[in-house]
Every structure is written in C-alpha cells, then in structure tokens.
Amino acid sequence: MRPSPYPPRAPRGRSLRGALGALLTALATVAALFAATPPAQADTTVCEQFGSTVVQGRYVVQNNRWGTNAPQCVTATDTGFRLSRADGSVPTNGAPKSYPSLFNGCHYTNCSPGTSLPAQLSAISSAPSSISYGYVGDAVYNASYDIWLDPTPRTDGVNRTEIMIWLNKVGPIQPIGSQVGTATVGGRSWQVWSGGNGTNDVLSFV
C-alpha cells in the first residue's frame, strides 16, 4: 500500500504472544473496512502509477505500481477492485512490482473519506471483517490484508511495523525474512514469518 520496496516486519524483541494479540486487534480493525454496502456506482479504471479513486464513499482503491515501469491498471467497482491490466514482470526473489489495494486509513497523506484511523489499538473493541477474492492461476502474487502499526498516529509515511496476513499465494514467492514458527489463529494454521526491509519490521502470517 505504499511505494516502499518491501513489506515491513515485526519487531524482533516482541514475543509471539504479544504479536498475536496485536494481530487479532489489528485484524479486527481492518475487518470493519468491508461492512458497508452503499449504492452501486460506475466502474472506474485507474492506470496512473500511484493513482487512486474512492469506492463506497469510504474506501480508497489505489494502483500503487512502484516496482516497474510496465503499464498496470486497476478497475474499481462498487464492491472493491480488479486488476484489469498488469504488464511486465520482476524477479520472484525480490520486492514485488506493485501492491494494488483497497484501504481504510491513510497512505502517504491520501486518507479515505471519514476514516477513524489511525486509532489506538486499545480503543478498538471489535471490527468484524469479510472479504472475497477471485484468483488467477497464471501469475505470481499474494493476496493479503496489510495492517500498519506505529507508536504515533502517522498519516504521512511508512509506519514502524507491518502485519501481513497472506490469504493466498501463487508461485515461488515468500514473505520478507524467515519462518520463525507456526500459529493457529481464527481456526486456521499459519506459518509465521519475521523480517525487515531496513525501514520497517514485518510480521507475516501465511
């Protein structure tokens, strides 16, 4: 969701138990993003490198093509977005070529309308979530929730810690860092990865 070269990681000194607690709370935050069902709107296609548009009057869909010069377009719909064009490729052992997304909150001062984020984790009691993905099999990618945490309520750049929840991956890719364990969260078994990109910590659940 940002033009940084890698997904961030989780602080090395943090216990897995503490990290999971933050994950559950943060996941609840992201969950609330998909609760509304506003009136239908015409599809909007965005091809600018960092172009974005608003859907449902409260979420931002962004193209976020930061790892390649090849053309890429996202088409925003009244329920989310689809990747309508994605030319070119990058090596699978490095940073991804783009991170198109739908978000609630702020990304480099681009804030979703009426957002209540950033917010303190302690102030979030629940945030149920539901999401639906459609996958293609002839590409290399991951589909994930991306949750950002920081000691200060930042709206203008990269936060200190990123939690990624990989709901699907296709092809020879892996999160930043290395696998440090496994966990059962939400009734599912997850690989837990920890690492960093020089700017952020990243904790990934795959």
> What does the alpha-carbon distance between residue 174 and residue 92 come to, in Å, rounded to a whole number?
9
pLDDT in tens, 91-140: 998 889 999 999 999 999 999 999 999 999 999 998 888 888 888 878 89
- 3-31 residues labelled b (16+ CB within 10 A) or e (exposed): ebebbbbbbeeeebeebbebbebbbbbbb
Query: Cα dist. 89→84, 94, 116, 133, 151 in Å?
Result: 15, 11, 36, 22, 36
> What does the alpha-carbon distance between residue 82 and residue 69 come to, in Å, rounded to a whole number?
20
The domain limits of the chain are: 16-205
What is the amino acid identity at position 22? A
Share of the chain above pLDDT 70, in %: 80
Report CA torsion sign: 54, 48, 5, 154: negative
Report CA torsion sign: 2, 174, 83, 27: negative
> What does the alpha-carbon distance between residue 142 and residue 169 come to, in Å, rounded to a whole number?
4
pLDDT in tens, 61-70: 999 999 999 9
Class of domain 16-205: mainly beta
Quickly state the pLDDT bin for 22 (edges 50, 70, 90). very low
Which pLDDT value is given to residue 9? 33
Share of the chain above pLDDT 90, in %: 66
Quickly state the pLDDT bin for 84 (edges 50, 70, 90). very high
pLDDT at 71 over 90: yes
- Mean pLDDT for the chain overall: 83
pLDDT at 176 over 80: yes
pLDDT at 74 over 70: yes
> What does the alpha-carbon distance between residue 77 and residue 42 come to, in Å, rounded to a whole number?
7
Q: What is the mean pLDDT of residues 160-168?
A: 95
pLDDT at 16 over 60: no
Quickly state the pLDDT bin for 50 (edges 50, 70, 90). very high
